[in-house]
Chains A and B, each alone.
Chain A
């Protein structure tokens, strides 16, 4: 007869078997290394698109810096520096001559030639907004010999080196000419660069993991590394990026030593890591990100400048940033549309945003504008952690000032699709949405898409703003840095008056690493050269 005792005995046996099996998996066996120095990193997002020209996704840009190199690159002082090539500029500012340095090889063993550079720049110039401006004044772009590229302009374009050296929102990565011949509207299918790491196609799982191996034939520059410039010296054999959709799991994995580096740590989870002596939490750079709100200039009520000004008076950076980040250590009230720590940064005219909400002023402006109660349709994405809070805080602030607000929750994909609609709200249009940018992506008038005033050709919201277009043209024509700064200040003042967008301040996202990981470069883009990994 089956007794309870025998039944329990069977269960105990099963439990014991499971426990034995589990105990056999001792940590030493689990975490065994194969002798190679492998750095495992959890990045902010999974890598799915491998073409750095067709997309502006940050993770694709980060991937591109691993496997591709660039002609020139900015250092930590925002100064362009030679990377693959040095340059000379003619006295009239019309001819730029680039000379490739020795020892440049693609990962398939072919040497990098000036033909590759020309093809890569041509493809990039059709996608990137800054690149398009340069190609508008390009008379010719030619490979005059194996190592020389001559770029001739029809009129001077002083910020040319700044644009091709920029670190974000599509830098011109150099690819073999046969790959760069792909249409800029189609994704490339071969991933060969001349950068410090080689992409391992066999181990790539879209959205899950990607493996990079050290490129043994890469010849780093001799200068010390600084942001995207200088010597890219690789000190590990392999870098593996893995995606972890759960923030707590990533933190637990870092604490347990299963991964070495976590690019972004959620502020509310920081206390878990701060008590771990084996882990360092730090700011990767001081520039960080900006939060912005974009009104739709085509539809009421934000087709009226006074009503946009009223909204700006009602919004309060401090309360929005505090809601987003919580810890003041990781945000910065800042009214500079080009960023507070950048060469062109100026906070002129931003008191309404940085000085706290001014509800009385907002109400007065609404009255002066004759606001008729047209609701503000505010799109609120619910699936992107860094964008959840802004619409909610903004809706409350606008309501306090007397706006009618229709806060509509949706996923980010729906925002992305809907913000492209120019129709009235009743036919799928919108009035306001919020998004974020890295500071280097908004740091000058040619990069910052929100100061484009070309109507239908401008970024979503479509302001027709001839005045800002004149100022942008003046920026291009400005002969030196001082003159550029002067024009940038005028653009700042104009944006604060015309309210091309709502600058909602700067914030930082900390990174975390095991203490065995040292010498990480402070840089807006996470880079894996220079880094060293010691044994645990």
Chain B
């Protein structure tokens, strides 16, 4: 197992290098000029040229790339062209809200969706199944910002239970954090509940038809043990894959939800950086996203062996 993990971690290095080269070139091919954003509307071409010089944007591409690579090798993500602040600091400040909202979303989704999927499979073709599947279709179909606005209207404006917007870190008090994180998490969870519930149902339906389930029932094993110990464990691999991919998606940023609830997360940082052509920030964000995907996939792969002893690395 250790050797397998080591190999997988080492394999990320060429992946990240390829992503870095690709991102760097793609950004330089995209129209846009960070110097123009920095200088504003009234700058003359001569002034822009001088600012480009001072930012190093007039250096040959290879020089710019090697400078960036040198910084990365030293663990330095560079400095924002616009705000002149450390990219690592900016990303660090934005990671907290994104990770916390992602964790809360996944917890809510798993706690609700897995039982829903199991029950839907167990009561296949009954009104319960129909209800769960209807919710799934709804969860997939309604745009996330609409769900967000509806939740804000009901819980923040009409009932005034929670604030409309904003974010507080858990270190500022659990109440302050929870009250602000619950609506965005519920908003995001609607999609993931739909996704995970459908996957759980499909996977469970397949497993519930197996001989060993019939045998377990024939032996008189209690139904909840049949469902959650025998069936769910064997149906877990595709469900875990979906949860893992979902978590990676959440961490790499959910721009619309972050905008609707005014959460200073990774998604908004990335979009703002792209609109301003703030190259160091965009590069750092794409590398980070690639890294998150690689790591989450690795964790998901490792977790398979805990649920299915036949899988060994």
B165 touches A413 (CB 8 A): no
Q: How far is the CB of A258 from chain B (nearest CB, A)?
A: 6
Cβ–Cβ contact B165 & A258, under 8 A: yes
Q: Which of B44, B80, B93, B276 contacts A459 (CB 8 A)?
A: B44
Inter-subunit contact A189/B268 (CB<8 Å): no
For this complex, into which size category does the number of interface residues on chain B fall?
35 or more
| 29 pairs of residues in contact across A and B, judged by CB atoms under 8 Å | A2-B224, A7-B119, A11-B112, A14-B112, A22-B178, A25-B176, A27-B160, A30-B175, A50-B83, A50-B84, A129-B42, A169-B42, A185-B54, A189-B84, A205-B90, A205-B264, A206-B83, A206-B90, A208-B93, A246-B262, A249-B164, A253-B163, A412-B275, A413-B33, A413-B275, A414-B31, A416-B36, A456-B45, A459-B42
Say yes or no: B275 contacts A411, CB within 8 Å: yes
Chain B residues whose CB sits within 8 angstroms of the CB of A6 once the complex forms: 224
B88 CB → nearest A CB, Å: 13
- When chains A and B are docked, how far (Å) is the Cα of A242 from the Cα of B164? 14
Q: Which residues of chain B have C-beta atoms less than 8 A from A186's C-beta?
A: 54
* Interchain nearest-CB distance for A414 vs B (Å): 4
**Shortest distance from the beta carbon of B57 to any chain A beta carbon, whole Å:** 12
Tell me the bound Cα distance from A258 to B123 in angstroms: 46
Chain B residues within 8 Å of A256, by CB: 156-157, 160, 163-164
B165 near A22: Cβ-Cβ < 8 Å: no
B27-71 CB mask vs A (1 if < 8 Å, else 0) is 000011100111111111111101101100000000000000000
List the one stretch of A54-62, A354-362, A469-477 in contact with chain B: A54-62
A170 to B43, CA, bound (A): 11
Is A21 part of the contact surface with B, judged by Cβ < 8 Å? yes
- Which of A7, A129, A383, A459 has the largest count of B CB atoms less than 10 A from its CB? A7
Distance in Å: Cβ of A46 to nearest Cβ of chain B: 7
Contact of B23 with A by CB under 8 A: no
Q: Let me know if A482 is at the binding interface, CB within 8 A.
A: no
Q: Flag if A420 contacts B33 (CB, 8 Å).
A: yes
Interface residues in B160-209 (C-beta closer than 8 Å to A):
160-166, 175-176, 178-179, 182
Interface on B for A, CB 8 Å cutoff? Answer: 31-33, 36-48, 50-51, 53-54, 80, 82-85, 90, 93, 111-112, 115-116, 119, 122-123, 128, 149, 152, 155-157, 160-166, 175-176, 178-179, 182, 222-224, 227-228, 259-262, 264, 268-269, 272, 275-277
A→B interface (CB under 8 Å): 1-2, 4, 6-7, 10-11, 14, 18, 21-27, 29-31, 46, 48-50, 54-57, 60, 127, 129, 169-170, 183, 185-187, 189, 205-209, 242, 244-246, 248-249, 252-253, 255-256, 258, 383, 410-414, 416-418, 420, 435, 437, 441, 449, 456-457, 459
Once the chains bind, are B155 and A56 in contact (CB under 8 Å)?
Answer: no
Known pairs A27-B160, A246-B260; A207 contacts B272 (CB<8 A): yes
Chain B residues with CB below 8 A from A258, complex form: 163-166
A441 to B42, CA, bound (A): 10
